[in-house]
Structures are given as structure tokens and as C-alpha cells.
Structure 1
């Protein structure tokens, strides 16, 4: 009996398996060696059927690897990979030196193993799912044919429709494999990959999580992603490059597997919500799916694999002073009721109390209408206000958006000149969308004249009023509108990023995301938060979630939260400031002196100890600033996160995978601030020797139960024996 691996290996006898070398540069496989197989392989060969060629072509069949899309990084070349392919009447197996892919013929399933251990598997309910225009579904049933050629395995898989065939191309490399799918004999409008969540253990990545729970994502963020239950499980039907949420088509697991879906189309992502125990990754508007599965030794290695595709920051998106002191923004202090005198009093009180800050930023409430870059009557002398802010030693910034409300003077101007995105239904009309401040049009950055018109208005604010920088609070595209000039959502993201990077973003950064946006190096402020303990915990988890999808310069959205809730309690405000002190960037709003409660319509004056503890937290961050700036430089060199989960440095510590209220700042400082009411908490230290900054003692890894931390105390631990140990001990002792 002979086994045939067509166009890849010479004809083989049953004593040999087929080993070929595959590289991304040259897909033509070639024999590189012959070796004796184990008894198991010989047995498999005796049962084997020939690998045969699939014969049914179709426009919707699995495509060849596509070139990079607009603004998207191209895949990097890979080193040659030795591959062994064999099959029997039950399975087809593709093995590299690092992992194996087992394809069950029927029911069709794909299981990925490393060192004999399953690290990722498709769902028992079906590996893939195709949706037709009428809403009916096609599910794969059994492998009809399997062909190894040109460094890839081509499968033709029968489906629930006898006339339709799922085509699957699997291309293995040393630490990953690419999966391209399509369909013949039917037309599909969406294509989904379904994975068994339990096979990967704990799940991470994704970014800010949209769920069906009330208050999400302002008060909830699962960490790990599989920790959520019921309505708190991820279920996002608008997962895409134009989403306001910071999301990324990348996930990874505690088993050191990962998934990257290469698309600029809208996705529907469900992590256990639609189908219990199943991670559903559906790409809409296409019958094809393009996914890469990573198989590594550690989760951090999977993260770095994705950074190798998406890119690392090309620059640091904040000035040195913005890593040292907090940005003060008016939003939670005033909301849109802010006026000139109140804003000046706010700035002066913080200045006189010795609370550090680098910028005073005026949020929503200054425009005559949303989209008009003119001052309303609450600001009789904006240039004089700017001058007074500068005299206190602060920079001055304002909030801006690209939405232009229908009642704005600029709306008619932009409409008449064709500067707004057009309606999908009637391209002769502007697209009208609803955002949190009403109905509006959206400036079409794909129109060069509109781009310049918008940019010129920002330049005039700088020239006429001494505005040093801006808080961009906007979407650059909306999928409900029609794109212009052949652009897609990712291209609009790129245009928005290139516009924003011309200005000082003042530590508030900008919320752009999706594969390739990492290169801009913007500060990322996570989504608005409430003012309670749940919101503080969500802020920490979202910072971790955004960090591990490739955006290292993270800040929680406003120390103390906002979200039109009553002001934070004494404890929440101080503990939030302490947590932010050991994050890359501090972004503040609620004054630790006095704030207006817009819910109960009364002023809240914080006791003096709150102001003192808050000021101490800002000084702690300032002391750590040189260390943080070095981590920022490292992020540019390598893509390494600054704020990272414990298991990035300690992958062999099982407890590290579920710790959601501690993190590493760099590799050498473990932060365990109090994130709940009270004056104590449990602390988990990974294996090794640590210095307890509060108790001035060396401790070994393990669990510290009931660690005492009064309102002025931040539990911090320095890893002993690390290159950064001496400098951290000098600063923190």
C-alpha cells in the first residue's frame, strides 16, 4: 500500500511518513527528509486512504491569501516549517515539530494539540457555520476529500445542504496555522468559526467587552473572559474597526493558543452567550473566513505573535510630563454645565492644594452647538481664561467631536459642500446617525476637502484662543453610512488617527483600534465608568484587556468615574487614585476637595484626609515616572505591555490566570491596591522573592491573607533580583 501526498512528497511506502518544508515565502512544498515512523504511524498508514484532490471550483471557495487591506499590516515572512501529514479513515493529521492538527472526518472537527495536550478545539456542535441570505444555516458534516499540496491541506467538507460544500485550506507554520474557508454550491452572507471554550482554559484578549448586562461596559468587564455568566457574557453584534469600544479581533488562552480573525467587516462575537460553552466568531457580509491559530509555549508568546502581525507602537503617544502628572478634565466635575468661572475656580483650587497636574482640559459644554467650534455665552472671554490657566503652569485643552448635530450652523455648511458621510439608502443625502448628544451627520474624512475644513477649525482654536491640545471624543466612521472613494472602516480609522496625531492629545489619547492601529502609539483611555466599586474594578480589568491586545499606554477613564452617577465615596475616590498611580497614565476629573452631585443636586465636600491621600497618590506616580517612561520606551522597542497580568511574567503559576485585582507594572513592580471597601485585602504573590514596600520586609511567593492597608496605603511589592530592583527600592522605600 502507498500513501500519496500530492505535489508535496515522493511516493511513500508504509514505513515512512511525509515530512515537508513549508515557508510563507514559498508555498511549494518539498521533501526534506525521510524517517522511520512509529508503530502508531505505521498502523495509521495501513488504514489510510489516499489524499485526493478536491475538484469543485467556486467564486466563494477558500481564497488564496489576500494582500494587506488598506491600512492593514501584511503578514510577516515565516521561517521554513517541517510538516508531517498522514491520515486514516477517521482522521487527517498535520504535525509540525511544535504542534499537531487533528481533523476528524466525521463529524467534522479540528483539534489542536501541543505535546499531546489539547490546547484548542472546535465546538462539538459544529466547527463552522454559514448563514444564507434567507437566514438559514449551513453546518459542516464530514470531510469528503483531503489534498496536501503547495504547503497546505485543502479540505472539501459536506454540509447540511447536499448541494453545498465547505472548502477549508489549512496552512501550517512553526508556531501557527492559517485557516481560509469558503463555500461552493451555495451563497452565504456570513461565516463563523466556533470553538469549544473549555479546550482553551481561560480566555483573554478581545478588548472592552459588550454584554447584555445592565450598565455594561461602564461597570462590568469580565477577566478572564470566560469568568462571566448569563447576561455578563460577551455578546457583541457590532464588533468591528469603527466601533466606539476598544476591540481587537484577537483572543488567546491559558493553554497558550490564540486566534486572530483577519477582517475589516463587522463581526458578531459571542463568548458563551449565544451557545453555552462556545466561542462564536462570525464575520458578516462574506462567505469567507480568514483566521490564524497561534500555538505557543506561553500566553505572552501568543501576544507577541499577534504584535508581530499588528505592529508595535512606532512612538510614545504622550510627552514626558504626561507620564508624571495627571490630566485634569472638567467632565465629572461639571458635566455639560461647566462655565468659565467654575472652570477657573476648579483649576485654581487644585493648584493651591498642591495636587499635581499637567493640563486643565475643558470637556463638553463650551460649544454653541455640537459641531460648531465657537464658544457659547457661558464663556465670555475664552482667551482670557486660557491665559489664566497657562499662568498657573498648566496646558489648556478642549473637548471636540466629529459629529455635527442637525441644529449646528456647521451642519448646513458641511451639507452644502458635501463634507458629510452619505446615506447608504440615498447617496444624495447626508447620513444621519444618533449619538449620545442627539442626531447628527459625521464629517467624511475620506473627502480631502472635508478633512482640511475640519483640521482648519481646530487650528483656528489653537491660534485664536491658546488651545494647546484636544480630547477627541468621536467615531471616525459609522457602518450605517456609506464610505466614499472606495474606503472601508479601517481606512477611516487610519485617516482619523493621522488627523489626531498632528495635535497634542494631552494624555487623554484617542480611541482608535483594530489590527494595525497599534503603530500610532496613542494613549488609550478606556470607556466611561460609573463611580462605584464595580466601576473601579471594571476600569482595572479593561486596562488589562486593552493592554494585552497591543495598546500599552492605557489610562482609566477619569479617576473616580463619572457616567452621570452620584460622586464617588471617599473610599472609592482615594482607592481609584491609588490604582491609577501604578498605571501608565493618570486621567482625573473629580476634585478630591469638592464636587457637585448632579443626581441629588448638592455640593459634596470631601474631608481633608481624602485630599491628602489623593495628593500622595499623585506624588507616588510622579516618583515612578522615570521607571514608567522606561517601560514606555520598551513598549516601542518590543511591543511589551506596561501594565500586564501576572501570568505574562509567571506562566507556570496557575493562580495568576484568575487574579483580576493585581497587575505588574513593568516586570518588577507588583501592584495590589485595595479595590473594595475596607482596610485589608488578600494578596497573591507569584513564586519568587519579593520586597514588601509597606512592611519593609522580604517575602516569598504565596498568598498573604488579610493584608492590612488603611486608606493611605497602597500595597506594592518589588521583585527581588531583577535589573530594576535597586531603582524601585530607592524610590519606594
Structure 2
């Protein structure tokens, strides 16, 4: 039997979430399967295949071990009593109704399917398929079974993308990706000197290819469908076996949302809409670079020299506005979120003076409070901090040479207090027009929350943190005027956070932690509904003798200019590293590329509006516009900046040229911005000395004059 659920019984199929009219179907396998097979289809595409000899569902009892050291996690499990759920089991009435004497079917009246590990055994897992949202739930009947795994079909030649913000690999095929928000690590390549030395103390702080601030258990298939796990538990997306993608969840009940679209671009739009309407990116952020300085009162004098040199400046970002704490890691901040007058005298007047000139002031905040600060004492008195499991004392997280309390955002009163008293009064009312909303990954699993299990809340924590920021901005009527940016995330953060940044890259060209990873981060996060991403121009992490070179700074200028927001950072060890004003050449380079970024403001605003209407990100994987060109499927070191501009930053040390892929048909023309030379589709070796990153545009579009003007802007003295 291969019929879909009959219409008259109310389960003819379900419409996939946000779909374009393709109906999902549940198709029961024939009697040769001997007791329980079925297929789950979207249109004519089988996305899940369950057979007695090859079951798609398994359950087990978990035995986890979770270790955290300064935001770096080691997740281990030794599951027992694993059971393959091979058979469907149903009441005789349901079997008879569809013509089966030996019994394999679903409860057609209610959309239920029951699975067991034996033909005559009791049901162990209930599958419920909704009709309107294309959501299905897998619910275990025995609470001692707290592990569920599901195998999804990966057809030959199908590429799979997703996983949230990934920095090493855009395509998921062939690898296993744990979904757990954490510090990404330094180096992120075990076996290399920097990664190994960072992990030598047992902290596993070196990271790996899959460690990320922002995981999201979403898989996008090149055939035109997507699977999104709606749970926040620890999950693995395992694509190491040919023909299948295995999702393993540390839970006894799981929800899966299904999407189907005309192509991947349509899916990306659906995922963006499903996440919710994102806040707008303010106009002013496109009016030049945001200069990051953390030099106390001297920051203003340095900024004036940068402006006098001719730089286009939209904002001054001083993360040390709250004061500093010197540690062995470098110059860090004092985690008490209010103006430090000793470090920044007369700051309110300075902020007002800058704003009168069209330059905004930005600061810094994170969701933790230093135990030696006054805000910690206030939060403790109010009962707004997460507690130890075995006492009513606040839980202090080790952040490396100091401890901090966790403001418990599962307590509505605590979330409201932070939004109003900290961000609202101490930041927005004070005059800040933006900030870095840092961290969110560190929630330990061995503390006590006002509401919820820390194992389930850990991945949700960045979303709660984003909601607090969003709430504070909205309470002042500043949505679309204030910009704040996060590195941590999970499913749902898109509805609150207007801008991502790619985290704490090393100040180098390394494959898994250097400049190139910010491109992969922007492309991967864009696929799951995040419109705007950017990075610390110059990188951030400088340890064990790894310091910035002039070449790195110049190449990061080029990349930053073709990002929605261009923002510099002095890094964790500013005194050891080159800065944008360290030498005349570095300053001249910054001036040049800040002007280019400013010149692109009309295009950035167009991309912002396009993101609102279509859900497409500003920086796009090539296959979003060329879905039939398989050559584009694994390209992760160049991007379409909108549909009409191709950017291929130089991300290899010492390179003065690079290969660039230009997609299209025989009639397609791409024009090189700097030389005016036209090229057709295919691979090209493009000369790319410092100051001339490969950038191409479509000369047959209305925006061609804007792109053609960039050479003149770059060369203006």
C-alpha cells in the first residue's frame, strides 16, 4: 500500500511550514516490509524513510557528563539500552480500516503513529503529525528513555547547509556538528601549536571546527526543503554516513518543523519569516566606520586625528566606558554596567558633542555582573541571580581571574530589572546609541534557575539575552535607531537582534580562526534568517606571540568595507598590536576603506529593505541566486553582496592574486570594479594586490554607476 492518508479521514497530508503549496504526505510501505515501514514526503521528495530493516527512529537512556571551563564545554554521553524502533503498532480497528490484516499503519483519525521495538511490544514512541504547521512531535512514553535519534534522507548529490553560525565549514556534509553554544576556542584546529597550547591546561580552550557561539539545529537541503529542530537541548547534526543525516537529541520528546520551497533562497526567506520580524539596522551605521578605541579619555583625541586624516566615521565605540580590569589574558572590562567617570571624564558632554556632529557613541554590556561591583550586590539583594544547586547563595561563574553572577532571565522580574535599570537608564538614557551585547554562552548546567532546567535553557540563554536588549530599546522607542550586536545565538535570536558579529577571531590568516572565518560565519548565519553580520576589523585574540601584521590589517579593511557595518577593534592586547592609527600607512588605508564603506550606504540601505521583504541576508552564498550551479555549493570564501555585487576578499597571507568564481550563463557579464575589465562566467585568477580586493558588479543594472564610482572614492586624496 502506498496511498497517502485519505482525505475523508482528515489526514490527507500536512502543508509544510511556510510552504509554496507543496503538500506533505505520510506513505505507508507495502506488506513486503513485514510490519511497519513508511515514508515522509514533501511533494515527490522522500525526506524520511523508515523500514523494519532500516529504522529511522531510535531511543536510549542517557548517561551524560558535561564539563565547562570558562565557557568551553566538553559534552560526553554513554547511552544504554538503545532500541531501534522498527515496528508500527496500532489498534486492530485502525489496521482493518486501511485493509491490513497483519497490522502496519497509523492512527488515521488523529495523525498518530506508534513505534515499538518488537511486532507485539508496547508502543515506546508516539509520532504526531499536525495538519497545518507541518510540525511533527516524537514523544517517548517511558521517561527513562531520554535520547531520541532520527535519520533523514540525504539523496545522492544533495548538499546540506545550516547549523547556525559555522566558521569552518559552510556545507555540513561529511561531518558531525554538535549544537551547543560555547566559546569557539582559539585556533580551532587541534594539532596546531596555538590550539594545543590553549588546551594544554585541560580547559579545551583551543576549540574545534564545530565550536561556535551561535549553533542552530536547522538543516537546509539543496533539493529545496529544510528540517528544523524546535528543541533547545543538546543536539548533534551528524552527516558522516552516506545517504542520511542523523539528528541526535538529549531529550525524550522532540519537535521537528518542515519547510519546502521553490529553491534555497525561498527556504531562507521562510526561515527568516518563521523566526520573526527582525529589528531594523539604523541608517547612521552606513555613514562610515565605527571606530573602536579603548584608551579612556585619550580615545576622543585619537578619534579627532583619525577624522582629520579624512576618515568617514559613523560612531565611536569605547567598550571600556565601564572601566577596565587587567588580567593575564589582556585588558578586559570591569563588569558593572555604568559610566566609569575616572576612566572617561566628562563623558556625557563628549557624547553630546559627537552626536551634534553626526557621530554616535557606543558602549558595551553583557548579562553577567562582577562579584566585586555594586550592581551585583543590588541584584543579589533583589534575588535576581541564579543560585547554587545546594544552597540559596548566588552561583559565581569563573571568567578567568574573576567571578561573576548570572542574572536569571528566567525570572521575569530580573529580566525586566536588567532591561530597565541597566540598559534603559544606565545606557540608553545616558546617551549611548549602541553597544556590544557580549557573551550569552556561559550558562552553567549545575546551577539553579528561577524556572527551567539549565540543560534545556543553556542554548536558549542567548535568545533570552537578546530579548532583554530588544525590550530595553523598544521601551525607549529607539528600535531602528539604536544598534546592538551579539556573537551568541540560537533559534529565535533573529527576532530580537539586529546585527551579529563573528566573535573573537585570532589576529591572523589561520584557516579555522582567522580572517576568512568571518565570511563563512556571515554566509552560514544568513542562511538561517540573520540578515546582517560583521566582524572585528583587525581581529581580536592575540596570545602567545600571535600579533597583527600590517598586511592583515589592510586586508581586513578591505573586507570590512564590503560588510553591512564596518567596525574596528583594538583587541584583547591593544598595546602589543598594531592599531588603525599606529602608522601613517595604516591610517591612510583605514581612511580609504572607510570612505568606500560610506559610499556604499545607498546599497546597504537597499539590502536592509530587501531583507525586510524577502528575508535574504546582505552577504549571500552564491547558490542563493544560482541554485542550479553546483559549482557554487561549496564556495565559502566569497559572497554576493546583494544580487549585483560579487566580493572575494583576499584571506591568504602573502597572496597578491586569488581565484574567483563568477556565476551566470553565457550572456552574463561581470565588471571588475578597479580595472573596468569585463569577464564572463567561470573561474578566473584575479590580480589582487593590497588595496585592490577582487570585487565585480553587473554592469547591466541600475546600481552599476554606484559600483563604478568606488574606484574614484578609493583613490580620492
**TM-score category by the smaller chain?**
0.7 to 0.9
Q: 1:353 to 1:410 in 2, by over 3 A?
A: same
**Structure 1 residue 618: deviation in Å?**
1.6
CA apart distance, 1:553: 1.6
* Residues 445-456 of structure 1: pairs in structure 2 closer than 5 A: 445=409, 446-448=411-413, 451-452=416-417, 455-456=420-421
Q: Distance in 2 between matches of 1:559 and 1:567?
A: 14
CA gap of 1:307–1:147, structure 2 versus 1, over 3 A, is farther
C-alpha contact (below 8 Å) 1:718/1:728 kept by paired residues: yes
Instruction: Identify unmatched segments of 5+ residues in structure 2.
Output: 64-77, 90-103, 184-210, 325-333, 713-717
Q: In the alignment, which residue of structure 1 is the partner of 2:45?
A: 99
Q: What is the match of residue 197 of structure 2? A: none
Equivalent position SS for 2:537: coil
Structure 2 length normalisation: TM-score?
Answer: 0.76
Question: Quick one: which of 503, 508, 517 aligns to 1:527?
Answer: 503
Match of 2:673 in 1: 693
Which residue pairs with 2:60 in the alignment? Answer: 130
Q: Are the aligned partners of 1:528 and 1:561 in contact in 2 as well (CA < 8 Å)?
A: yes
In the alignment, which of 404, 425, 449 is matched to residue 483 of structure 1?
449
Taking the aligned partners of 1:358 and 1:448, their CA distance within structure 2 comes to 35
Per the TM alignment, residue 438 of structure 1 is displaced from its structure 2 partner at its CA by 2.6
Separation in structure 1 between the aligned mates of residue 426 and residue 79 of structure 2, nearest angstrom: 50
The answer on whether the counterparts of 1:21 and 1:82 sit within 8 Å (CA) in structure 2 is: no
1:147 match: secondary structure = coil
Change (3 A) 1:250 1:312: farther
In structure 2, the CA distance between the partners of 1:457 and 1:100, relative to structure 1 (3 Å rule), is closer
CA RMSD of aligned residues (A): 4.0
Structure 1 window deviating more from structure 2 (160-169 vs 186-195): it is 160-169
Instruction: Report the equivalent of 1:501.
Output: 473
Name 1:645's counterpart in structure 2. Answer: 621
Alignment of 1:227-626 (within 5 A): 234-238=177-181, 245-263=213-231, 265-271=232-238, 279-284=245-250, 286-313=251-278, 315-316=279-280, 318-330=281-293, 334=294, 338-341=295-298, 343-364=299-320, 366-367=322-323, 369-371=334-336, 373-375=338-340, 377-383=342-348, 385-386=350-351, 389-390=354-355, 394-426=359-391, 428-435=392-399, 438-445=402-409, 446-448=411-413, 451-452=416-417, 455-461=420-426, 466-475=431-440, 478=443, 480=445, 481-484=447-450, 489=460, 492-493=464-465, 495-502=467-474, 507-511=483-487, 513-520=489-496, 522-534=498-510, 535-556=514-535, 558-565=536-543, 566-590=546-570, 598-599=575-576, 607-626=583-602
Aligned residues: 623
1:80-91 equivalences under 5 Å are: 81=23, 83=25, 85-88=27-30, 89-90=32-33, 91=37
- The verdict on how the C-alpha distance between 1:478 and 1:672 changes in structure 2, with shifts beyond 3 A counting, is same
- Residue 603 of structure 1: how far off its partner (Å): 8.8
SS at match of 1:536: coil
State TM-score, norm by structure 1: 0.74
Q: How far 1:189 sits from its partner (Å)?
A: 2.0
Give, in whole Å, the separation in 2 of the partners of 1:559 and 1:604: 9
Distance 2:269 2:401 in 1: 39
Q: For residues 479 and 140 of structure 1, what CA distance do their matches in structure 2 show?
A: 32
Aligned partners of 1:461 and 1:438: how far apart in 2? 23
Partner of 1:715: 694
Whole-angstrom CA distance in 1 between matches of 2:88 and 2:424: 63
User: Structure 1 pair 597/404, CA: closer, same or farther in 2 (3 Å)?
Assistant: closer
Q: Provide, for residues 552-604 of structure 1, a one-character-per-residue CA deviation record: whole Å limited to 9, x for no partner.
A: 02111x1010113454212211111111212221121249xxx986458x999
Partner secondary structure for residue 471 of structure 1: strand
Alignment of 1:167-206 (within 5 A): 167=125, 169=127, 171=129, 178-184=135-141, 187-195=144-152, 201-206=158-163
Distance verdict in 2 for CA 1:547–1:140, change over 3 Å = same
**Contact (CA 8 Å) 1:578, 1:614: kept in 2 or not?**
no
State the alpha-carbon separation in 1 of the partners of residues 684 and 19 from structure 2. 46
C-alpha distance in 1 between matches for 2:126 and 2:17: 20
3-state secondary structure, aligned to 1:411: helix
- Computing the radius of gyration from Cα coordinates, the structure with the larger value is 1
| Secondary structure of 2:522's aligned partner | helix
Whether the 8 Å contact between 2:181 and 2:441 is mirrored in structure 1 is: no
In the alignment, structure 1 residue 664 sits paired with structure 2 residue 640: yes
Please list every run of 5 or more consecutive structure 1 residues that lacks an aligned counterpart in the other structure: 4-16, 32-63, 66-73, 111-126, 210-219
CA displacement 1:434-453 (0-9 Å, x = unmatched): 33563111223434266336
- Structure 2 distance, partners of 1:158, 1:248, is 30
Q: Distance in 1 between matches of 2:130 and 2:362?
A: 50
